Chains A and B, each alone.
Chain A
Amino acid sequence: DIQMTQSPSSLSASVGDRVTITCRASQSISTYLNWYQQKPGKAPKLLIYAASNLQSGVPSRFSGSGSGTDFILTISSLQPEDFASYYCQQSYTTPLFTFGPGTKVEIK
């Protein structure tokens, strides 16, 4: 099975900061990598699909990059509504929706 890791597991940042979150797969998954945002008590929200494609309606300050085993989610200028947990997910192989352990973005 493909294992997903994320770093850091949590971070503290200020409004306006540039934030990067890294996701790594245990084997190559091409660009079959999605990013979700989840706020407390809410369902996950799709941000990025296929590594770098911005989901409709998601602000352009979010971007994704990478291929193979290493991927990055970037928030170019952190906004108050961006404080949440972020999960990567591979859809290269079954189990299809293997998620990373998550990264919690907190207010500094």
Chain B
Amino acid sequence: EVQLVESGGGLVQPGRSLRLSCAASGFNFDDYALHWVRQAPGKGLEWVSGISWNSVNTAYADSVKGRFTISRDNAKQFLYLQMDSLRAEDTAFYYCAKDRAHYYGSGSYSSTWGQGTLVTVSS
């Protein structure tokens, strides 16, 4: 079964850091680009970041650029999101999602998503 499982969420103070993990199974992990997408409670979906199969290409939403870093470990089949200088507006459920191809780009879509992990930024 193709599966993505996020972890690492929790309550964190503004300005602090947190690292999310996403464990993959059931598919050839290093064949696919991956993404992080978030959703503030009761709000819509927001794409956060993407990474190509070989980590050469990464992209970020303007709202997190310079504060968040996406990475992956193909040997361990893990995707990560390092979140620094967290703000209250980063409070959301964070989902990892598998792209349809090696590289993200025109025509990307995600048929596999994790269940999400909640990050709450509050003092």
Pairing of A with B: yes
The stretch of B8-16, B80-88, B100-108 that contacts the partner chain:
B100-108
- Tally of A interface residues using CB under 8 Å: 26
Q: Which residues of A contact B (CB under 8 A)?
A: 32, 34, 36, 38, 42-46, 49-50, 55, 87, 89, 91-102
B43 to chain A, nearest CB (A): 9
> Can you show 17 pairs from A to B with CB atoms below 8 A apart?
A34-B109, A43-B114, A44-B45, A46-B110, A55-B111, A87-B44, A89-B47, A91-B106, A91-B107, A95-B61, A96-B35, A96-B50, A96-B108, A97-B35, A97-B108, A97-B110, A102-B45
Tell me if A49 and B109 are in contact (CB < 8 A): yes
Question: Which residues of A sit under 8 angstroms from B113, Cβ to Cβ?
Answer: 43-45
Question: Which residues of A sit under 8 angstroms from B45, Cβ to Cβ?
Answer: 36, 38, 44, 87, 89, 97, 99, 102
A94 to chain B, nearest CB (A): 6
B62 contacts A by Cβ under 8 Å:
yes
- Tally of B interface residues using CB under 8 Å: 24
Q: Which residues of B contact A (CB under 8 A)?
A: 35, 37, 44-47, 50, 59, 61-62, 95, 100, 104-111, 113-116
- Which A residue's beta carbon lies closest to that of B62? A95
- B44 CB contact (under 8 Å) in A45, A46, A101: A101
Tell me if A96 and B105 are in contact (CB < 8 A): yes
